Structure 1
Amino acid sequence: MGLWPTDHSPVGLHFTQTEFSEYVRQRSDCCIDEELERCFFLWTSGHIGAITALYGILQTANILAQPRSSKFSLAEFEAAAPSLEKFVHELGGACELKKGLPPQSLITDVGRPSFAAFFRRLLRHGSLFCTERRILDVQYDDLDQWVFLDDPIHGDTCLTAIRQGWVFTSACGNFPNTVIISLSTPLLQCWFSYHLIPCELEASFESPLDLVCQVTALFRPSLLRDPPVRFGTPLESRYLTEFYRAASALTDGAIVLSPDFGTNPDRESQGRIDFLLAHKKWGIELTRDGNRLDGGRDPRFQNYGQRLEEGDMTQYIFVDYRVTQPVQSHPDVPHLYHVVFDDMFEDHVILKGSDLSVICHGSHGSFPKV
C-alpha cells in the first residue's frame, strides 16, 4: 500500500451533502435548522467525526435541558460555545475527532519543532505540494509551499503526518509524482491554528487598525489580480487567504482561524469573527465591496459586544476590502474601515467607515503607522 493516491476520490468517512441532510433528519434527539445545518456541513466538509463533535457541543449545553418545540439555530449553537477558545476546547475533547489529531505536545515549539513548523506552513498556504525530491531544472513558484521527501527533517515529518492520517492527500495534476497535502476540514484548520500559537508575540501593534495596515502592506498583488488556478476562489476568499498568510507571517502564527475560514466566500451572514490575534484578543472580520454592512440591524455586532463584556475579545475591527470608492458612510457600523485598492492592487487608501475620512495611504511592501 503506497502513500500516493490513485485517483481523485474523496477521503473516506465523509458524508456527501445529500447524505448529511439525511443524517440531520434522522437526528430526532437534536434537531437543527437549515442555517445551522449549512454551517455544520461547511465547517466539517461532511467529516462524520467532526459532525458528531459539533452535535456533542449542543448536547452538553444547558439549552438542551430546556423544553422546546423549535429547532436549534446558529445563534443558540454560538451561545453553547461563545468564544473561539471554548469552541476549540470543546472540539478537541470530542473522542470522535480526537483520535484523528496529533498529540498537543507534538506540535509545540518545545516538543517537536519540525511538526509545529510543518503545520504552520500548511495553515499559512492552505495546502502543500509533496514530491520525492527537488529537480534542479524545474522552477518552483514558492519553495516554502513544497516538501521534498529526501529532506531528512521535513520529509520525515511530512511522511509521519500522512501515515498517521493527520493530513489529507490528493493527486496533483500539474506536477508528476506529486500530491497535494491539506487538512480535511475547516474545523481542523481552526483547531491547529489555536494550538500552534507561539508563547510570545514578538511583533508590536498599537491597535487593531495598525495590525490591519501592516498586514495589508504584505498582500501579494499578483495573487489578488491573477490567483493560481488551484485557488479557484472569488475575490473575497482571496482577501481572506492573503490576510491570513500575511498576518501569520507577521505574527509567527499567532492568528487563530474561525471555523468559517475558507468555507463560503459569498456568505451573507457571519457567525463569528474571521481571525483572532490570540495574545491581545483582537477580533478581525473581513468583507468585500460593502457586503454585510447592515449596521445596528445585524445581530453579530450585539454578539461582539457581549464577547467584549465577557472578556473573550478586548477589541475588534471590521475591514471592508474593495476596489471601488465607497459613497456612503456607515456611522452605525462600529469599528469599520474601508481598504480601497487601485486596479492593480499595488496601492491602497484606508478610510474610516463612519465618515469616510482618510486614515492613511499605503502600498505593497510599505508599513504605514496609524
Structure 2
Amino acid sequence: MEYLSHPLGGVLCSQLSCLQEPVTELPEIDIMDPLICPRTATVQELARIVLEEGVVHVRGTPTSGKTTLALLLHKYNTDNDVKSVYIRQWSPMKSIEHFGTYHLVWHARAAGFTSVSYDNFESQDITFILDNAQTSYKDDQLWLGPLKDQNNNCRQFGPRFCLFMSYGSPTEGPDDPSPNSIRSGIKILQRVSITVSRLENSPQISLFFTREEFDDVLQRKRCDQKRPVPLDSNAADYLFHLTNGHPGAVEAVLAMIHKAHQSDLLHRVIPEVTKDHILEILDDEKRSFRFLLETPFERSLPKRSNVNANAANILRQVLKNGSIERDLENPGIKECYQRGWLHSEIVDEETEEIVCVFPTRLHAKYVEQYMTRSLTRFPKRKFPTVEALAEAVLREFSPRNLSLETRLGTGAVVRPVEACYQDEFYRCLHQVLGFASHVYSEWSGDGDGRIDFRITDVAWGIEILRDGDRLDAHCSRFVKNGSYTGWIRKGWLKDWLIIDCRSSTPRAYKDPNTKLWRAIFADDYTSIEVRNASNNVIIPRFPLMN
C-alpha cells in the first residue's frame, strides 16, 4: 500500500488501507497452452474496436470463453506495447467518494504503471479489461464516472474499457441503471455477444468460435499427446452445428467423445471418430449428460437442485417456443437470466425488443432431458395412434408463427426458413401433451442426425420435411439397413410417421406403403389439408387459428 501514499493522498490511503489487494492476478488459464486457439483475427478486431470506441461490452453466459478471450486481448495489448490492465473482478467500496476512479488507479499502479494518479487518470492511454464485469453493476461511481466520461467523449486518448459480463442488457449494461448513466449510449458498434448479431453495423466478431477457429481447435485436439481426438470431416461438421462454436460446449463434447472412445482410439481400432460414432454416444442421452456434467461446461447448465419452480417453468417455455421476452419483472425470467441459463439478445433496434434464448442446443437438450418428465402416463386413449397425435398437433399450428420472417433460436442465431415447420411442430407437440410425455428432439436441431421427434413412452417417431426435401433418403431410414432400423430392432421405435409440409400438391409417392403424410398448407398458412403417399385426402382441409 506504500505506493498509494503520494498519488492518492493520505486520507484516502488510510481509507483504502483496510481493503484487500486488488484482484489483478490472472486466472488459472495458461493462454500459452498449445491446445488453446489464439483467435488472432477475433482478438485483433476486438482490440481495434476498443481503441476506437473507448467502451466495449462483451456479453456471454458461463463457459462461453469470456475469460480466455479477455486474457488473449490482454496478451495482444502487451505484445503490441499497449498499456493493459486485467481486472479479474470488481470490488466496489461505496463509502469512498469517486471510488470508481481511485480503484482503477489502484489497479493500474498494482499492474506496474506507477506514474498513474487520480489527477492524471483521464489522460492515461490504458486499456482496462474488466472480467466478470457484472460484479460492478451496482457501483454507480464506476458507471457514472470513468465509464460514462469515456463513453460520451469522442477523443482518441484516455483510458479505455473492455467489459466482459455474464449477463446484462444488450443496450444498457446494468439492468436497472441509475439516472444519467451510460444506459442510452451503448451503440451497436460497442456490443459483442455470443454470436454475431444480425443488426446492421454490429461487430463481426463474437465469443463463439468462427468455423476457422473451430477447425483450429480440432486440429490442436487431434495433435494432443495426452487425449487426442481425431474427427473426420462429417463429424467435425456435425459437432460445429451441435455446439454452434460455443467454446465450453466444444471442449465438453470433445472430452465426452474421447472418454467414450478412448480405448478404440488408443489401440487404433478406429482411426478417426465419425459422425455415426458421435450419434451412437448421443443416442443414450442420460449417459451423454453424465459425461458432460463431469466437465467445466456443467457450470452453465441449470442443475435441478438450483432451479426453483418459477425458473423451471420459464425454461420449459423457452424450450417450447424457442425464446421468451426479457421481462425482468418476472422472477423466473430474472433468475434464469442472471444465472446465465438464458442469454438475452436484442431483436429489433427500433423497438428495442429483447428476448432470452438458450445459449446452445445442449442447454435446450438438458432442459428437455431433465425438466419435461412427468408422472402422468401418455394419454393413449386420447391418442391411440401416432397419426391421431400428429393430427392433433397440426391443428394447433399458428399461421402467425409460420409467417414470422425472423425467429431467433439457440445462440441467438436466426433460424432458417426451412426449420419453421419443425419448430412449430415441436411447440405444438408440447402444447398438446403438456409435457405429460417425454419428447426427444434431434440433438443438432437441424434434422441432420437422428429422427426429429421421438415420444419415448409409446416408442413413436415423427420426421418433418419441407417440400419433399430428400424424401427418398428420409423414407429409406426406416427400412432395410436404414439408420433408424437399429432403433426399430431395439424397440425404441414401434411406429412412426413422415410428414412432408408443403404449399403445393405433390405427385403420388412411388411406394404407397410408406408411412407418409403430405400436409398441404394454404399460401397464407391459414389452413391445412392432409394426404397420404398415394395422394388421397385423409384429413379434409381445416382452418388454423393464431
TM category (shorter chain) comes to: 0.7 to 0.9
How has the CA–CA distance of structure 1 residues 80 and 259 changed in structure 2, closer, same or farther, with 3 Å as cutoff?
closer
**Secondary structure of the structure 2 residue equivalent to 1:326:** coil
Partner Cα separation in structure 2 for residue 89 and residue 333 of structure 1: 40
Q: Please give the per-residue CA displacement for 1:213-269, whole angstroms capped at 9, x wherever unaligned.
A: 111111112332x314345544421111111111111111343332222xx4xx7xx
Contact 1:209/1:317, CA 8 A, preserved across alignment: yes
Q: Which amino acid aligns with 1:76?
A: H
Aligned residues with identical type, % of pairs = 21
How has the CA–CA distance of structure 1 residues 334 and 55 changed in structure 2, closer, same or farther, with 3 Å as cutoff?
farther
Aligned to 2:273: 72
Contact 1:337/1:352, CA 8 A, preserved across alignment: yes
* Mean Cα deviation higher: 230-239 or 246-255: 230-239
Aligned to 1:10: 193
How has the CA–CA distance of structure 1 residues 198 and 61 changed in structure 2, closer, same or farther, with 3 Å as cutoff?
closer
Q: Does 1:206 align with 2:206?
A: no
How has the CA–CA distance of structure 1 residues 118 and 294 changed in structure 2, closer, same or farther, with 3 Å as cutoff?
same
How has the CA–CA distance of structure 1 residues 259 and 215 changed in structure 2, closer, same or farther, with 3 Å as cutoff?
same
* Larger RCO (CA under 8 A, 6+ residues apart): 1
Contact 1:293/1:333, CA 8 A, preserved across alignment: no
**Secondary structure of the structure 1 residue equivalent to 2:530:** strand
Deviation at 1:56, TM superposition (A): 2.5
* Mean Cα deviation higher: 165-174 or 322-331: 165-174
**Secondary structure of the structure 1 residue equivalent to 2:215:** helix
Contact 2:527/2:542, CA 8 A, preserved across alignment: yes
Q: Does 1:239 align with 2:421?
A: yes
How has the CA–CA distance of structure 1 residues 168 and 300 changed in structure 2, closer, same or farther, with 3 Å as cutoff?
farther
Aligned to 2:231: 32
Deviation at 1:53, TM superposition (A): 2.2
Aligned to 2:538: 359
Q: Output the TM-score relative to the length of structure 1.
A: 0.80
Deviation at 1:16, TM superposition (A): 1.8
Q: Does 1:194 align with 2:366?
A: no
Contact 1:290/1:320, CA 8 A, preserved across alignment: yes
Partner Cα separation in structure 2 for residue 244 and residue 98 of structure 1: 26
**Secondary structure of the structure 1 residue equivalent to 2:300:** coil
How has the CA–CA distance of structure 1 residues 339 and 230 changed in structure 2, closer, same or farther, with 3 Å as cutoff?
closer
Provide runs of 4+ in structure 1 moved above 6 Å: none
How has the CA–CA distance of structure 1 residues 334 and 80 changed in structure 2, closer, same or farther, with 3 Å as cutoff?
farther
Deviation at 1:306, TM superposition (A): 0.7
Aligned to 2:315: 119
Contact 2:459/2:492, CA 8 A, preserved across alignment: yes
Q: Output the TM-score relative to the length of structure 2.
A: 0.56
Contact 2:344/2:354, CA 8 A, preserved across alignment: yes
* Pairing partner for 1:227 from 404, 408, 412: 404
* Pairing partner for 2:394 from 216, 220, 229: 216
Aligned to 2:486: 306
**Secondary structure of the structure 2 residue equivalent to 1:344:** coil
Aligned to 2:81: none
Partner Cα separation in structure 2 for residue 172 and residue 258 of structure 1: 26
How has the CA–CA distance of structure 1 residues 82 and 223 changed in structure 2, closer, same or farther, with 3 Å as cutoff?
closer
Aligned to 2:460: 282
Q: Please give the per-residue CA displacement for 1:50-79, whole angstroms capped at 9, x wherever unaligned.
A: 112222332222543552574321112222
Partner Cα separation in structure 1 for residue 453 and residue 244 of structure 2: 20
Partner Cα separation in structure 1 for residue 351 and residue 521 of structure 2: 38
Partner Cα separation in structure 2 for residue 171 and residue 341 of structure 1: 31
Deviation at 1:280, TM superposition (A): 2.3
* Mean Cα deviation higher: 94-103 or 60-69: 60-69
* Pairing partner for 2:334 from 159, 167, 172: 159
Partner Cα separation in structure 1 for residue 275 and residue 475 of structure 2: 17
Contact 1:125/1:245, CA 8 A, preserved across alignment: yes
Deviation at 1:321, TM superposition (A): 0.7
Contact 2:460/2:495, CA 8 A, preserved across alignment: yes
How has the CA–CA distance of structure 1 residues 295 and 331 changed in structure 2, closer, same or farther, with 3 Å as cutoff?
farther
Deviation at 1:352, TM superposition (A): 2.2
Q: Please give the per-residue CA displacement for 1:125-170, whole angstroms capped at 9, x wherever unaligned.
A: 211121xxxxxxxxxxxxxxxx3x33xxxx2222222222111122
Q: CA RMSD in A?
A: 2.8
Contact 1:189/1:259, CA 8 A, preserved across alignment: no
Contact 1:288/1:320, CA 8 A, preserved across alignment: yes
Q: Which amino acid aligns with 1:34?
A: S
How has the CA–CA distance of structure 1 residues 352 and 332 changed in structure 2, closer, same or farther, with 3 Å as cutoff?
closer
Partner Cα separation in structure 1 for residue 474 and residue 450 of structure 2: 16
Contact 1:168/1:183, CA 8 A, preserved across alignment: yes
Aligned to 2:253: 54
Deviation at 1:176, TM superposition (A): 5.9
Partner Cα separation in structure 1 for residue 236 and residue 512 of structure 2: 31
Contact 1:339/1:351, CA 8 A, preserved across alignment: yes
Q: Which amino acid aligns with 1:169?
A: S
List alignment gaps of at least 5 residues for structure 2.
1-135, 138-167, 172-189, 195-205, 223-227, 409-413
Counting matched residue pairs gives: 332
Larger Rg: 2
Q: Does 1:19 align with 2:213?
A: yes
Deviation at 1:285, TM superposition (A): 1.6
List alignment gaps of at least 5 residues for structure 1.
131-146
Q: Which amino acid aligns with 1:292?
A: R
